[in-house]
Amino acid sequence: MTFADFNPVALLEQMLRIPSVSGHESEVARFLVEHMRAVGLHSYVDDAGNAVGQVGEGPEIVLLGHIDTVPGVVPVRIDDGKLYGRGSVDAKGPFATFVAAAARLLARGELRARLVLVGAVEEEAASSKGAHYVVDRYAPIACVIGEPSGWDRLTLGYKGRLLVEGRWEQPMAHSAGRDVAVAERAVGFWNAVAARCAAHNEGKAQLFEQLLPSLRAIASGSDGLADWAALTIGIRLPPGVDPDALKQALSGAGFGGQLHFRGGCPAYRGDKNNPLVRAFLKGVRAAGGTPGFLLKTGTSDMNVVGPAWRCPILAYGPGDSSLDHTPEEHVDVAEYLRAIEVLERALRQLVAEVAK
């Protein structure tokens, strides 16, 4: 395949046909390396399993997306101008946008920077393995995170996260007895977490500023001699809430259970007065849109690389994030193509500005 044969819609459709649940991204990574190499990028799979493409000389700009998905099969098809498939929005679509824009800039001789494209692994897992691997390997002047924002919106920040897994066990007792049931202990812990978050949220109208707990799983059982209960809680953290401090606070409210914490990361919010944002604003306007800004209540690899790189950063990509992880996940093909145009314009504008 050469650039003359390059079809961005076909590229994304083929990516969607390759399953890549977190931890099993090797096939789609090899596919992307082959296609990035075919359009002129130096491409390889790094030691973390990321699909990497590099091209150009000059200021280093990292385009960091993720190529893993959550489980669940969404049949791949194009219907009424919409491309369906797991990852079409979150986030193979945004990464395909990166590949297409880089290929166009290279083919037109308009590349005046060093672009590093990273299709990261395990973003959907709490590990963010791919992002953690690259954080010490690049020092970009700017970074674009590949996540759905809509073609005319820019995401400036993501909330942090803390996952809590609790387990309670005790000797079996008659339900008419006075002992507190093990399932009630688990529910008591959940209620304590929810109450703590509610107290923090008093007077805070914006979701981005709130502690948002969710009960992700709960189960209980007995072997006839011992009863047990277990639950998993996810907490989305606003700016100013340190995951380690929250761990410490919650550890004393376990109601006699064993608590395990993982996936802790603080919130991150980028600045909107910098060359990267200005370049995207111009790109959106030039493509006929009215740009706007978003702050997301989820997390992304921005939470990993933003604090380390301390460069202008935002998240961008086609798609409606309300479709993430759903059975109806799809991206509008026209929006996808428009996002490629915006990114191409923004990268040209960014390089022109930093080269002044």
Q: Which fold has domain 160-265?
A: Alpha-Beta Plaits (3.30.70)
Q: Could you tell me which residue, 180 or 151, shows the higher pLDDT? A: 151
Residue 212 CA to residue 130 CA, distance in Å, equals 26
Confidence at residue 178, expressed as pLDDT on a 0 to 100 scale: 65
Which residues have CB under 8 Å from 275's CB, separation 6+? 142, 312, 350, 353, 354
Residue 53 CA to residue 347 CA, distance in Å, equals 16
Architecture of domain 3-158+268-354: 3-Layer(aba) Sandwich (3.40)
**pLDDT tops 60 at residue 176:** no
**pLDDT tops 90 at residue 334:** yes
pLDDT, average across residues 311-319? 98
Confidence at residue 355, expressed as pLDDT on a 0 to 100 scale: 67
CB 314 within 8 A of CB 270: yes
Same fold, 3-158+268-354 and 160-265: no
**pLDDT tops 70 at residue 107:** yes
Residues annotated as catalytic (active site), given as ranges? 68, 123
**pLDDT tops 60 at residue 1:** no
For residue 353, give both structure tokens: 């500005």
278 bridge partner residues: none
**pLDDT tops 80 at residue 3:** no
CB 87 within 8 A of CB 14: no
Q: pLDDT-based confidence at 177, cuts 50/70/90?
A: low
Which pTM value belongs to this model? 0.94
Reported as type and span, the H/E element at residue 95 is helix 92-107
* 3-state helix, strand and coil shares in percent for the chain, rounded to the nearest 5: 35, 30, 35
Q: At what angle do helices 333-354 and 92-107 cross, to 10 degrees?
A: 50
Which residues have CB under 8 Å from 178's CB, separation 6+? none
**pLDDT tops 70 at residue 254:** no
The pLDDT > 70 percentage for the chain reads 97
Residue 296 CA to residue 158 CA, distance in Å, equals 5
For residue 117, give both structure tokens: 């494209």
Which residues have CB under 8 Å from 350's CB, separation 6+? 61, 113, 142, 275, 276, 279
Decide: helix, strand or coil at residue 120. strand
Peptide bond into 107 cis (omega under 30): no
Length in residues, the chain: 356
Confidence at residue 223, expressed as pLDDT on a 0 to 100 scale: 92
pLDDT, average across residues 284-307? 97
237 bridge partner residues: 160
Mean of all residue pLDDT scores within the chain? 94
Domain residues of the chain, as ranges? 3-158+268-354, 160-265
Measured on CA atoms in the order 317, 322, 323, 324, is the torsion positive or negative? positive
Residue in the structure block whose two tokens are 């897992």: 125
CB 158 within 8 A of CB 300: yes
Tally Cβ neighbours within 10 Å of residue 175.
7
pLDDT, average across residues 117-146? 96
